Amino acid sequence: MALPGKYLAKNPDFFEIYDGKDITVWSINNHQLEDKVYTYDEAIDLAGTGWYVIGMSVLLCMALEGMALDMFGFSVVVSSACDLEITHIQKSILISMPFLGSIILAYPWGYFSDTQGRLKSLRFSLWGSFILASISAFSPNWIVLAVLKFCSSSFSSGIQSIGLTLLGESCSTKLKGKLVIGVTFSLFISFAVYNIWAYFILSLDFAFDLGFIIFKPWRLLALVLALPLGISLVLANYFCESPKFVLNSGHERRAVKLLTKISERNGIKVNTYPVKRVVLHETTSLRKKDYSLLQSLMDQTFPLFKPPLLYRIVQLFYITTVVYATNNGFYAWFPLVMETFNTGNDKNVAADNLCGLISNYKELNNNEMCITSVTEFSVWVSLIQGVLYGVLIFIVAWLNGRKKTVLIILLFISSTSGFFIPLVPGRILSICLFCGFMINSVCLAIIFSYYVDMFPTSYRGMAACLGVMVARISALAGTNLVGAYLVTHCANSLYSWSAFVLSGLVVSCFLPPDKPKK
């Protein structure tokens, strides 16, 4: 019986049925053909898990760490650039540059990833971010520094979404969620790493006159923070394109060759990989060569904002907004919290909780805009926090089958901790509760694993990159809102943010169940 639609023959045994805007891939068996037709999930599972997957995980850990250092480590660089004589307003503009850059180019990265390839997009992103971040270390003034940081963060903004998509499509379906969550561990390592590097580098005392600039420790720190991007760029040359992207583009034979190559690197003996035919078990987009760029962008984006994907994209965007606005907003002011703690001890201030310490810190009028060192206390706290969150990340990866439950629990801990910070006495307990409030950062890995799992291959890269854009907008807004009210209205600010996190918990309850109902 003939199936309705227009048949586009690729070979005597394989057809695509075109019924408008989408292509549904069908496999039609030929009794004379002995090769079994595998789905992509079956094919990638048969490719095994070995050195290729481990190596790609290492690559993405390094790339994500480079991205995080390029964005968040920049605040330390700005604070220690004393010779640029940066004012408070100029400092605010500089710190905003990494977020603005990633917001503007997140959308183009999604389109580039879904149309030109995951690996090509990742390499291009690493090239641009590494070169521009390195050049920024030689900026003669704050304006040049701002422009270069805007440009470097524009390139690095694609690393997270593209890299995690590439990993998710190149490894076993059983390990995909765990690896995506586990790789995100590097984001927490980077927080401790840049504090350690800053501690040792800023303690150096040198000044080299290069003619157009004086090369001081903060410039060396900027170069060191860009180093992981360069290492990732070298490592990226040893990996291949996502076979799923290639198959989705209509190149079955090339996809099989890539799957075979991956299986061999994973340790499977040559010529023993059984897959000769592979198909996608999902609806894919039809790309026409005569489409205009605008039409192509629309076709790549609009399906995400139509049923059935609309509900899920809005849901994920809201959860992303809650977590990133809270996490990045308070992380940006983490040095202030540590400084209030130190000031309280040094001055013997009679404050019994974090809000009291912040209030007294304001009264002591500590408004120095330039720092030349990172305190040893901050380094130890960041190390402990990084290890703690790292352990939690691995627990989350291990419990990947229960990620919705874990997400809800983490948001509950975060919301509860934030609510009790102004109420509970004791400096040490206040710092512990503050770290508990920041535990929502562990949710970042879970959120982006949903971006990888919940959308078709054709729109996955775009969905993830739009998620990054929403994340950066939220981070920028959160940073400014926290900075505006934390010092002047500490208790009310924490109550409001705790309620905001609680709303994210409520929305998370409507995510897909951990295990589908049978």
Q: What is the pLDDT of residues 339-358, one digit of tens each?
A: 666 655 555 455 567 777 77
**pLDDT tens digits along 349-406:** 555 677 777 766 555 544 454 555 666 666 777 677 777 777 777 777 777 778 899 8
Architecture of domain 51-240+305-364+376-508: Up-down Bundle (1.20)
Burial class for 252, CB neighbours closer than 10 Å (0-12, 13-18, 19+): buried
**pLDDT tens digits along 253-294:** 999 999 999 999 988 888 888 988 888 765 554 444 455 556
Strand, helix or coil for residue 35: coil
Spatial CB neighbours of 179, under 8 Å, sequence gap ≥ 6: 53, 57, 167, 168, 171, 397
Across-strand partners of 27? 14
DSSP E strands: which ranges in 203-295?
Answer: 208-209, 214-215, 277-279, 283-285
> Which band of pLDDT confidence, cut at 50, 70 and 90, is reported for residue 105?
confident
Within 13 Å and on the Cβ side, how many CA atoms surround 329?
29
Within 13 Å and on the Cβ side, how many CA atoms surround 455?
35
Q: Nearest to residue 423, comparing CAs of 488, 486, 357, 352?
A: 352
What does the pLDDT read at residue 433?
87
Pairing of strands 14-18, 208-209: unpaired
- Predicted structure pTM score: 0.71
CB 248 within 8 A of CB 114: no
**In the chain, which segments carry CATH 1.20.1250.20?**
51-240+305-364+376-508
Instruction: Give CA–CA dist 111/158, Å, rounded.
Output: 11
Residue 33 has pLDDT above 70, yes or no: no
Cβ atoms < 10 Å from Cβ of 444: 21
Does the bond joining 308 to the residue before it have cis omega, within 30 degrees of 0? yes
Question: Can you say whether residue 4 is alpha, beta or left, with left for phi > 0 and alpha for psi between -120 and 50 degrees?
Answer: beta
Instruction: Give CA–CA dist 270/261, Å, rounded.
Output: 9
